[in-house]
């Protein structure tokens, strides 16, 4: 079961000497996931990036998706890393992004560990009437191999629903 943490949570503050980057995740609460077999954070972020990229519907984003990460930081038995996936549409000012920050604190005597994850999504659509921005919830869970998985299906539906509700060019048209 996931728990939400307060603002005193370490993921809410940048560690001393942390690189400043646009991949910093600023939205969402920190959720904890305990796992009996913690995977390396770099591997976890790579999978989450691919899943977030898959959640960006091609029908809306024809300019491809870009990904960026910050270098992993390791300190003793803890690892921290961030990733961002952004997708755009060429012929309009439509953009969606997903930011993910993962920290894993490994147990000293086993492969077990605890992930602390903060993830959030954002859709921006500019039109003649002005800009519309919406937050997209991003949820994670531990999978069987000890890594993390995004709920890509739900995220894809939320992105599509948001875009269709804010941009007339994407609303369903009756069949002829």
Domain ranges (residues) in the chain? 24-168
State what percent of residues in the chain have pLDDT above 90: 36
pLDDT digit string (tens) for 83-141?
Answer: 999 998 877 788 899 999 999 999 988 889 999 999 999 998 877 777 778 899 999 99
Q: CA 26 → CA 12, 98, 145, 174, distances in Å?
A: 8, 11, 28, 40
Q: What is the per-residue pLDDT for 21?
A: 33
CA distance 144 to 100: 20
| pLDDT tier at 31, thresholds 50, 70, 90 | very high
pTM: 0.73
pLDDT at residue 61 in the model: 84
Which tops the pLDDT comparison, 17 or 129? 129
Please state, rounded to an integer, the average pLDDT across all residues of the chain.
78
pLDDT at residue 28 in the model:
59
């Amino acid at each position: 079961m996931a728990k939400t943490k307060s603002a005193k949570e370490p993921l809410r503050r940048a560690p001393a000497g942390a690189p400043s980057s646009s991949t910093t995740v600023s939205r969402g609460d920190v959720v904890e996931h305990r796992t009996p077999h913690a995977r390396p954070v770099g591997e976890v972020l790579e999978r989450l990036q691919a899943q977030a990229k898959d959640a960006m519907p091609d029908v809306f984003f024809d300019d491809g998706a870009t990904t960026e990460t910050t270098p992993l930081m390791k300190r003793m038995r803890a690892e921290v890393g961030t990733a961002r996936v952004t997708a755009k549409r060429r012929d309009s000012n439509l953009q969606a992004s997903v930011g993910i920050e993962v920290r894993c604190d490994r147990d000293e005597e086993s492969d077990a560990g605890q992930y602390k994850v903060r993830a959030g999504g954002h859709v921006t659509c500019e039109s003649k009437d002005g800009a519309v921005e919406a937050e997209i919830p991003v949820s994670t869970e531990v999978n069987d191999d000890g890594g993390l998985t995004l709920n890509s299906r739900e995220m894809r539906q939320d992105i599509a629903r948001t875009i269709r509700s804010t941009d007339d060019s994407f609303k369903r048209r009756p069949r002829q």
